């Protein structure tokens, strides 16, 4: 009888989920918050000079570029989030209500871009999601 009670108690204990395992220490594990600047997708930036225009693209977005998923895409001259305070915005495009493309492009006059970035420097693409978080894409280098 005692063996049956012990077996039932052990079986019941295995069925009840536990928050602490015997292999884990009894201290609370502190999980570091993930930084928004960590790459979370395969989206990437391309940039090139054609004539007197600089063309910016972000390709391979996780979702269609429309206002159901994104607020805007921006390209910056450094790895900081787009901000007028940082004076790092090269170009911006706002999401429209409709759109079924996983890429977006924009262009700016070369003269306005060369004032903010030198040849051989990286251009950083950013996607502003509906949750208000800027997600970075892989950067590209602008040569002129």
CATH classification at residue 95: 2.60.40.10
User: Is 10 a domain residue?
Assistant: no
> Which residues are bridge partners to 127 per DSSP?
73, 135
pLDDT at 33 over 50: no
The pLDDT tens digits of the residues spanning 56-77 come to: 999 999 999 999 999 999 999 9
Which pLDDT score, from 0 to 100, does residue 20 have? Answer: 35
Domain count across the chain: 1
Long-range contact pairs involving 35-42 (C-beta distance under 8 Å, separation at least 24): 36/81, 36/133, 36/134, 36/135, 36/136, 37/79, 37/81, 37/136, 38/136, 39/136, 39/137, 39/138, 40/135, 41/135, 41/137, 42/138
Residue 21 burial (CB count, 10 A): 6
Note whether residue 95 is domain-resident: yes
Which neighbouring-strand residues pair with 46? 57
Do the beta carbons of residue 103 and residue 55 sit within 8 Å?
A: no
Q: Report if residue 110 sits inside a domain.
A: yes
Residue 116 counted as domain residue: yes
Domain of 60 in residue numbering reads as: 44-142
What's the confidence (pLDDT) of residue 106?
A: 98
Evaluate whether residue 115 is within a structural domain: yes
pLDDT at 40: 55
Q: What is the pLDDT of residue 92?
A: 98
User: Which two structure tokens, joined as six digits, stand for 22?
Assistant: 């015997």
Average pLDDT of the segment spanning 12-41: 40
Q: Which residues of 56-86 are buried (b: 16+ CB within 10 A; e: fewer)?
A: bbbbebeebbeeeebebbbbbbeeebbeeee
Q: Are 76 and 90 in contact (CB under 8 A)?
A: yes
pLDDT of the residue at 59: 98
pTM of the model: 0.72
pLDDT in tens, 83-141: 999 899 999 999 999 999 999 999 999 999 999 999 999 999 999 999 999 999 999 99
pLDDT band of 21, cuts 50, 70, 90: very low
Considering the domain boundaries, does residue 25 fall inside one? Answer: no
């Amino acid at each position: 009888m005692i063996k049956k009670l012990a077996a039932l108690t052990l079986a019941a204990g295995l069925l009840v989920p536990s928050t602490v395992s015997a292999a884990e220490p009894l201290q609370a594990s502190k999980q570091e918050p993930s930084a928004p600047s960590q790459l979370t997708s395969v989206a990437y930036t391309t940039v090139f000079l054609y004539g007197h225009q600089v063309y910016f693209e972000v390709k391979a977005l996780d979702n269609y570029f429309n206002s159901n998923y994104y607020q805007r895409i921006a390209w910056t001259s450094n790895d900081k989030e787009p901000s007028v305070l940082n004076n790092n915005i090269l170009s911006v495009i706002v999401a429209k209500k409709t759109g079924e493309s996983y890429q977006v492009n924009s262009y700016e006059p070369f003269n306005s871009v060369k004032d903010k970035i030198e040849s051989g420097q990286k251009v950083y693409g950013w996607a502003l999601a509906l949750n208000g978080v800027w997600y970075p894409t892989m950067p590209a280098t602008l040569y002129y």
